[in-house]
A and B are shown apart, each in its own frame.
Chain A
Amino acid sequence: MTTTELRYATPEAQRAPVVKLYLGIGLLVFAGLMLVGALMRAAQGATMLTLAPDVFYQLMTLHGAGMVGTAGLAALAVNWYFLSQHVQLNPKIFLATLLLSLVAVAMIVGSILIGHFAAAWTFLYPLPAFSLGQWSKGAALTFVGGLLLLGVAFLLVYLDMGVAIVRRYGSIARALGLPMLFGREPIDATHSPTVVASAMVLIVNVAGIAVGAIVLIMTMLHLIYPALAPDALLMKNLIFFFGHVFINATIYSAVIAVYEILPLYARRPWRVSRPFLAAWLAVTLMVLAVYPHHLLMDFAMPPWMAIMGQIVSYASGIPVLVMTAFGGLMLVYRSGIRWDAASSLLVLSLFGWAAGIIPAVIDGMIHVNLVMHNTLWVPGHFHFYLLLGVLPMVLGFASYLCANGQQGRTGLVAVAVYATGGTLLCLSFLVSGALSVPRRFAVHEESWQWLGNVGALSGGIVLIGTLMIAVPILQKLPRARLASTGIGARA
């Protein structure tokens, strides 16, 4: 670290404990929710297990809200950890975010398991208020309130991150590298990709969560005063804007692990350049503009929005394929990299993200969407990004921090198990989608059930792989000295 870096950085001893808490809790929750996922797929297979529909939809709501929330928090931990090398962040605020989130989680889990709330994590208005006796108004309010609290928790730490960034870089735009991109400042090769990514995440996710808060409050008001019924199409727009931005911000936060750790393993730098900055600016704008691809089957939407949705969908894949995945591969090619759990997870994550873009972009075409929308094709592509993208980023980060990469061969076997199971699971979804199997169906027709069984077994394999990776990490985590540099250098 240079002296400037040291002057701004958060002291190491303050950073470690909270990050450890985030990771430890995250890994445990991921494993538990994977089991829930496997149970759902088994129920759709109908040979190993049957679940009553109300239970299935509660589990679906739990799995969706739980996975999205936990992935968001784990990716936040990646972002916070690496950003804190560059700016002075407040660990107490970061801890407060975790504590608020845990209260939110308790509200969400309680509303589902005790209150039987089951309107899915997207709480599509006005379903929360129309349960037909399945759940009470109180349960719906608790769920929606839990999500709102989670949003507040994120905004809290984002405020700290934003202030710290502005203190060092002058503005968020400058952290994003805009003056360099437009030639008003020379390219500074020491400007960290982490700072660029953090600026992007702050911009989009503050907007996303703000819109989320608005739609959550409107949903609550509607629950309390049913006469106050906002327009359903407007609410749908707001909800998908929020959901899309939030999950994308999760991916773009977690990818910081790749930018920071892969170079240490490859012993080659990942530096900012003009194309890199251009890609991140493009991504910032496109993440905000692409959500209409969720509404292609709402013919009441203006056609220009559907056209924009399709085109921006395609375009937003390009920076990932051209900059991040390609950049990662260039780093690895003939680098003599040491393959261990961490390095292989990080490369796997780039693969999962890049590969998932293909079915996503194809489904973003209006012609295709007419026959694929809301089939299992959709979970097919997003499990690629999330299960084979975001999670390996987080697991790779955790493995690197605990120097668990040292475990060598067992680590590689674990990653292979994880990748095999994950790929099979995603393929079971995609093939189902091509056979027009709907998503979010508790009961599947007989001709679809074999795919559910394949998915359940694959989910079991993923869970085994996850435990093989996570258990050694969890054992070392409490004592691990989080070393921010040097591990890869030993390779």
Chain B
Amino acid sequence: MHISILLVSLLGMGFIAAVFGFVVLNSGPRDEDFGGIAKRGYFIRLWWFIGLCAAGVLVSVWSLIPFPLQASSAESPRIIQAVGRQWSWELASNSVETGEPVRFRVTSQDVNHGFAIYGPDDKIVAQTQAMPGYFNDLDVTFEHAGKYRVLCLEYCGVAHHAMVAEIAVTEKH
């Protein structure tokens, strides 16, 4: 997921760079007939616009249905309270089994924090904000066993980077 996001972005940016490169390389010699250039330009622009709109509709439909933040349909997930405070996490439980639907009920006692679960490969699995006065439910079903970590992803003061907790995920018996 993470790397494909990077690759798609680089591809898009590379395309834009190529178009700019093409135009800069073809900036001369001067063609006095700007009317003619503009006419062809408007034609390309129209299709560029239609293409972007069409891509937008497709991507939006594909990525928004079903709504990505919907609570999981699991019957009765195991609920684990997670409370952030400057500068530590308090998890009601630190051990989970693979395949077990878990709902982290995340809040904060003081300022905004970010509750982000990092996998054993050090990549983010999922996240939500930890807000004073609110509970955000984050549904996760761990697929692989290993040591997961919770890092804080909302800047919360001088020890923000050191606000780490661990979750041990074990194979289901």
Contact = CB atoms under 8 A, between A and B. Distances in A.
A277 interface: no
Interface of B: 1-3, 5-6, 8-10, 12-13, 16-17, 19-20, 23-24, 26-31, 34, 37-38, 41, 45, 48-49, 52-53, 56, 59-60, 63-64, 67-69, 86, 110-112, 114, 116, 118, 122-129, 131-138, 151, 153-162
Nearest to B19: A329
A374 B114 contact: yes
A330 B154 contact: no
Contact of B153 (A300, A321, A354, A373): A373
Nearest to B23: A329
Given A333-B23, A441-B161, 16 more contacts: A124-B112, A231-B133, A232-B112, A303-B67, A307-B64, A314-B60, A322-B49, A326-B48, A329-B23, A332-B24, A333-B27, A333-B41, A336-B27, A336-B30, A371-B127, A441-B160
A296 B19 CA distance: 32
B112 A334 contact: no
A368 B86 CA distance: 27
A310 B60 contact: yes
A233 B23 CA distance: 46
A298 B113 CA distance: 11
Given A134-B158, A370-B68, A300 B131 contact: yes
Contacts of A447: 122
B110 A130 contact: yes
B157 A330 contact: no
Contact of B123 (A53, A307, A435): A435
Contacts of B48: 321-322, 326
A231 B128 CA distance: 18
Contacts of A337: 27-28
Contact of B68 (A134, A300, A314, A366): A366
A333 B37 contact: yes
A438 B153 contact: yes
Contact of A355 (B13, B41, B122, B126): B13
A329 B18 CA distance: 12
Interface stretch (A27-35, A357-365, A468-476): A357-365
A335 B27 contact: yes
A130 B111 contact: yes
Given A315-B56, A436-B2, A298 B131 contact: yes
A233 B13 contact: no
A278 to B, nearest CB: 11
A176 B125 CA distance: 45
A339 B26 CA distance: 12
Nearest to A348: B20
A12 interface: no
Contacts of B60: 310-311, 314
A134 B68 CA distance: 39
B9 A126 contact: no
Contacts of B133: 231-233
A375 B27 contact: no
B134 A232 contact: yes
Contact of A126 (B16, B34, B132): B132
A236 to B, nearest CB: 7
Given A130-B110, A326-B48, A334 B151 contact: no
A330 B37 contact: yes
6 closest A-B pairs by beta carbon, nearest first, are A336-B30, A434-B6, A334-B31, A358-B12, A374-B153, A441-B161
Contacts of B52: 318, 321-322
Given A355-B17, A443-B161, A127 B136 contact: no
A351 interface: yes
Contact of B69 (A131, A306, A350, A351): A306
Given A370-B127, A447-B122, A124 B155 contact: yes
A367 interface: yes
A483 interface: no
Contact of B112 (A127, A351, A362, A433): A127
A334 B28 contact: yes
A483 to B, nearest CB: 23
A297 B127 contact: yes
A347 interface: yes
A47 B144 CA distance: 34
Contact of A299 (B8, B19, B138, B156): B138
A130 B37 contact: no
A354 B16 contact: yes
Contacts of B3: 434
A130 B157 CA distance: 8
A370 B111 contact: no
Nearest to A58: B158
Nearest to A235: B112
Contact of B30 (A54, A335, A368): A335
A333 B41 CA distance: 10
A336 B28 contact: yes
Interface string A368-383: 1011111100000000
B126 A371 contact: yes
Given A322-B49, A351-B17, A233 B68 contact: no
A322 B45 contact: yes
A268 B48 CA distance: 22
